[in-house]
């Protein structure tokens, strides 16, 4: 993954973590960006969505889905145990 980022094939927008990582010190965390993410321990693995040239209407749909999942009581309860 790191080589794809360095080659410009993938752009990292934010990290789901409470702190920046050594490999990408200039990439902000969702916490820094004030995004409401799931509470609890930081993710120890990379979680990401990568796409290039996605039409705005589809991005809007994805954003709505993620916002809905973030507020879903069942998801919030079970997400920490999903690995």
CB-CB contact of 29 with 50 (8 Å): no
What tokens does 65 get?
A: 């889905």
| pLDDT one-digit tens code per residue, 6-54 | 888 888 888 877 788 888 899 888 888 887 655 555 544 455 566 678 8
Which of the listed ranges 1-5, 39-43, 46-50, 69-73 does the model predict with the highest average pLDDT? 69-73
pLDDT at 79 over 50: yes
Which of these, 12, 14, 18, 44, lies nearest to 31 by C-alpha position? 18
DSSP calls for 17-83: SSS-BTTBTTSPBTTTTT-----SSPPSS------SS--HHHHHHHHHHHHHHHH-HHHHHHGGG--
């Amino acid at each position: 993954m790191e080589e794809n980022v360095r080659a410009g094939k993938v752009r990292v927008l934010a990290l789901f973590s409470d702190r920046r990582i050594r490999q990408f010190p200039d990439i902000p965390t969702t916490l820094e960006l004030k995004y409401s993410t799931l509470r609890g321990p930081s993710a120890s693995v990379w979680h990401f969505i990568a796409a290039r040239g996605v039409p705005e209407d589809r991005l809007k749909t994805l954003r709505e889905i993620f916002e809905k999942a973030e507020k879903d009581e069942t998801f919030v309860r079970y997400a920490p145990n999903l690995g």
